[in-house]
Structure 1
């Protein structure tokens, strides 16, 4: 009897803490807090321009905000997609997806550069990604470790917040696709800070700013949709995290060196990998949806 009463009290508390009419307030409040942290780090602290080469402080703070908010709203880690079941399997799925798509992308890039008579070699060294080209050229082990841990923090925060929390909240009011679109648009806008800083620092002009914003926001929104579908297909965040990790890490450590410059076709490489990846995930999602409807 006591357990039934306790369960009822918890259920009532959950209903009070998650008001469907306040979903946007919850989401935008968390987004604003995380965005402020991101803005401060990019414009004031500039951790990515230091020894670390990664803007990771706002991501760590974002993880704290994520779990504090989830606790306040009585959303469990499992409900957000941090599931123990099939952890290894879903991680492997994401890694294989990312590695396969980038294998194709690097192959195409190398063929193009070879045909131009420019290809020299593939090289391993650590850089920091920038909208105006990669920065740095580090071969020491410590920089590979920082790159790996920085990207782990990045994928936990971004997938946790945008797919785990925002997607979860939106789906309490909307169906999957509107929820995925809303969360992915916020994810796209999340990436506008880099181009804006580049412009204010004088590293790009107004036209370059507009083009960089359009490209980054548009591509990040589509990538967000892919990760939303992955989380729906697998029932967890881990496949998306693994694919996200491969995407962010491989472009920082594996480089196509040509005679005239390094990574001259990096944008094309990323576009190929993400396009192929999106198509694969969409086909799998669509086939599962059709099979689910038939059952």
Structure 2
């Protein structure tokens, strides 16, 4: 590896380039408002940036977490863990809607996430395929950049926790683009600030959780698939009642994220791995080993 002279500056430079592509797509191309329903172009650009940066620093894919060993096991761990925490979250939401006199039920269809709630209702197989493929691109780019590349570069100078916090804060800021766009289109300043505060805090916490998952497993794949479930299930599985659709979506997401963060932190605190070898020996809940 060609160690960067200033790891933080290198991270900020890559981040600025990726954010520039994100800005262009959200404000000008607006793929998420098109037939595709997904803002995926800047994610593809981010994957290209990731590959170029890896080459510049003479890194290998394995060095930033794309490890082939135990890949199926890690993928299954991420999927099972993600579905488990959302099972709890949907159960709580179901009970809350029922307690308010609603008639809750689950429906499967594809929608696009918006800061004010999901929009659209598509049931064709093509839209499910687009949603799944778009979310795969999303997690490969975001986990590869934030938990893979950034963590590797920052740990050349900082300890794991410090590096994870820096990457997680950047991941939180990464999500401010949607409420900013909404404000420029006539939204309220208060609404924008509230959404920005909520998105930065929740995304940073979840990003920190994914960093710990990556540390404990020694690869990106468990975090990648937990991240995939976190995003895809919001787009495809909806709580409907006689009073509306996904009215308590934010509550559901918050419960799932906080529950998963608590579980991950408890396991990490108990095991506290200090090397990739030790991390690989940590048996995470829902492990098949």
Name the TM-score, length of structure 2 as normaliser.
0.93
Find the aligned partners of 1:67 and 1:283 in 2 and give their Cα distance. Answer: 34
Residue 218 of structure 2 is aligned to residue 227 of structure 1: no
Which of 41, 47, 57 is matched with 1:63 structurally? 47
- For structure 2, which runs of at least 5 residues remain unmatched after alignment? 279-289
Residue 147 of structure 2 is aligned to residue 147 of structure 1: no
Report how far residue 120 of structure 1 moved: 3.6
Alignment of 1:117-128 (within 5 A): 117-128=101-112
Report how far residue 260 of structure 1 moved: 1.6
Find the aligned partners of 2:155 and 2:11 in 1 and give their Cα distance. Answer: 12
Q: Write out per-residue CA displacement over residues 49-78 of structure 1, whole angstroms, 9 at most, x where no aligned residue.
A: 000000000000100100110111011100
Find the aligned partners of 1:72 and 1:131 in 2 and give their Cα distance. Answer: 36
Q: Write out per-residue CA displacement over residues 69-99 of structure 1, whole angstroms, 9 at most, x where no aligned residue.
A: 0111011100000000010111111111110
1:189 corresponds to: 173
Alignment of 1:23-102 (within 5 A): 23-102=7-86
Alignment of 1:127-138 (within 5 A): 127-138=111-122
Which of 232, 239, 247 is matched with 1:249 structurally? 232
Which of 18, 24, 29 is matched with 2:3 structurally? 18
Find the aligned partners of 1:72 and 1:290 in 2 and give their Cα distance. Answer: 30
| SS of structure 1 residue aligned to 2:120 | strand
Which of 103, 110, 115 is matched with 2:87 structurally? 103
Aligned length, in residue pairs: 275
Residue 162 of structure 2 is aligned to residue 161 of structure 1: no
Alpha-carbon contact 2:216-2:273 (below 8 Å) kept? no
Residue 98 of structure 2 is aligned to residue 114 of structure 1: yes
Find the aligned partners of 1:154 and 1:188 in 2 and give their Cα distance. Answer: 15
Report how far residue 290 of structure 1 moved: 7.2
Name the TM-score, length of structure 1 as normaliser.
0.91
Find the aligned partners of 1:149 and 1:253 in 2 and give their Cα distance. Answer: 13
Name the stretch that deviates more: 25-34 or 142-151.
25-34
Q: Write out per-residue CA displacement over residues 22-64 of structure 1, whole angstroms, 9 at most, x where no aligned residue.
A: 1112111110110000000000000000000000000001001
- State the superposition RMSD in angstroms: 1.1
Find the aligned partners of 1:234 and 1:254 in 2 and give their Cα distance. Answer: 29
- For structure 1, which runs of at least 5 residues remain unmatched after alignment? 1-13
- The structure having more radius of gyration, on CA atoms, is 1
Find the aligned partners of 1:145 and 1:120 in 2 and give their Cα distance. Answer: 27
Find the aligned partners of 2:125 and 2:173 in 1 and give their Cα distance. Answer: 33
Runs of 4+ that moved beyond 4 A: none
Closer, same or farther: CA 261–216 of 1 in aligned 2, 3 Å: same
Find the aligned partners of 2:268 and 2:104 in 1 and give their Cα distance. Answer: 39
Q: Write out per-residue CA displacement over residues 111-152 of structure 1, whole angstroms, 9 at most, x where no aligned residue.
A: 110111112411000000000111100011100000000000
1:7 corresponds to: none
